[in-house]
Amino acid sequence: MTIDGIAALIQDVPDFPKPGVTFKDITPVLARPDAFQAVVDAMVASAPEGIDVVCGMEARGFIFGAPVALALGASFVPVRKSGKLPRDTVESTYDLEYGTQTLAVHTDAIRAGDRVLIVDDVLATGGTVAATADLVHRLGGSLVAVTVLMELAFLAPRERLEWRDVDLITSLITYD
């Protein structure tokens, strides 16, 4: 399965979750084991060496982050919405295209010096990645790279991430 083949499977859903927003539905990619495997393989191939921790954000970042972590021999850290984790957490709030959200991780999820890869399905405004980068830095981790299935470049997310020390961003599919 090629990246073009994967892109052809992603479906636009207009006016979801609210009018004016076009949602990129990845469930057709997940329904095809060859496409899902190709995405995971491409994410693993783009990862720098020596990754200790893979962070995946709720909920679709979990889908790709966990298998990428396994393939890299790294631990997987679920980055959850506020109130979803049972132990002590640190939190970061950010803006979405259509509201605000707060993300949290356990305070012991990342150790000082851990080399961290952030994995998600989409890079849109950059808010989710920025909040996760903030959590990584606050826990003493070293954010090495970000890998996403798709990037909505027309929203200029990379400009929003420059001040977060996010230097290496890999997007398998870019929408201009």
d(CA 176, CA 156): 9
| From 60, 115, 138, 158, active-site residue | 60
Give CA torsion, residues 48, 49, 53, 58, to 10 deg.
Answer: 30
Residue 156 tokens, joined: 């200029």
Q: Is there a contact between 172 and 42 (Cβ–Cβ < 8 Å)?
A: yes
Beta-strand relationship, 99-106 and 115-123:
unpaired
Active site residue 60: yes
The residue behind tokens 């939190």 is 91
Q: Over the Cα atoms of the chain, what is R_g?
A: 15
Active site residue 162: no
Coil/strand/helix, residue 4: helix
| From 58, 80, 91, 97, active-site residue | 97
The residues annotated as belonging to the active site are 60, 97
